[in-house]
């Protein structure tokens, strides 16, 4: 499954993940596992049954989050004059469109780490600490509520 998943998650570091994107990644992972196990979607099998039968856990979304956070740390540690860093930290001139603001790339970083961009930038300076932040942010959480 991983060669297929790697192909489909190529350049996932640049993605802006929204709620629907996360659901599609989870659905893709389950579809691949069902294909591997030769379980048709018409058979009434729960996700838990498929995961138990495959003796695995969901980790595709976790790998996407990990890759994106590592990329953030890599770019932030670069010198100030590199174009990638300028693009990531810059903003476009002019007014934004009416309505709800679109989810930005940095919004994912803030949500996953629970830090502001300045705090996350400072955390990347210590690589050992940043690795722990990435590991903790990528772990799947049980949502309350």
Task: With CA atoms as reference, report the closest residue to 79 among 70, 69, 89.
Answer: 89
pLDDT of amino acid 29: 87
Which pair of tokens denotes residue 78?
């670069």
Closest to 71 in 3D by CA, of 52, 92, 49, 87:
87
Does 145 score more than 50 pLDDT?
Answer: no
Give the dihedral sign, CA 5/7/8/9: positive
What's the rounded mean pLDDT across residues 98-110? 88
Res. 42: pLDDT tops 80: yes
pLDDT number for residue 8? 67
Beta strands in 28-109 (DSSP E): none
- Report the distance separating Cα 92 and Cα 100, nearest Å: 17
The answer to whether 124 touches 130, Cβ cutoff 8 Å, is yes
Give the mean pLDDT of the chain.
Answer: 83
Residue 75 Cα distances to 65, 71, 78, 101, 130, angstroms: 15, 6, 5, 25, 13
């Amino acid at each position: 499954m991983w060669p297929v998943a790697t192909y489909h998650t190529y350049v996932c570091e640049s993605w802006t993940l929204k709620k629907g994107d996360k659901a599609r990644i989870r659905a893709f992972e389950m579809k691949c596992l069902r294909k591997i196990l030769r379980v048709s979607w018409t058979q009434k099998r729960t996700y838990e049954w498929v995961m138990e039968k495959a003796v695995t856990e969901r980790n595709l979304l976790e790998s996407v989050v990990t890759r994106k956070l590592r990329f953030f740390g890599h770019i932030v540690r670069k010198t100030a004059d590199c174009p990638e860093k300028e693009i990531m930290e810059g903003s476009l001139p002019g007014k934004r469109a009416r309505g709800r603001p679109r989810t930005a790339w940095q919004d994912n970083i803030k949500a996953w780490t629970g830090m502001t961009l300045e705090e996350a930038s400072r955390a990347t300076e210590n690589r050992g600490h940043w690795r722990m932040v990435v590991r903790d942010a990528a772990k799947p959480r049980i949502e309350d509520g």
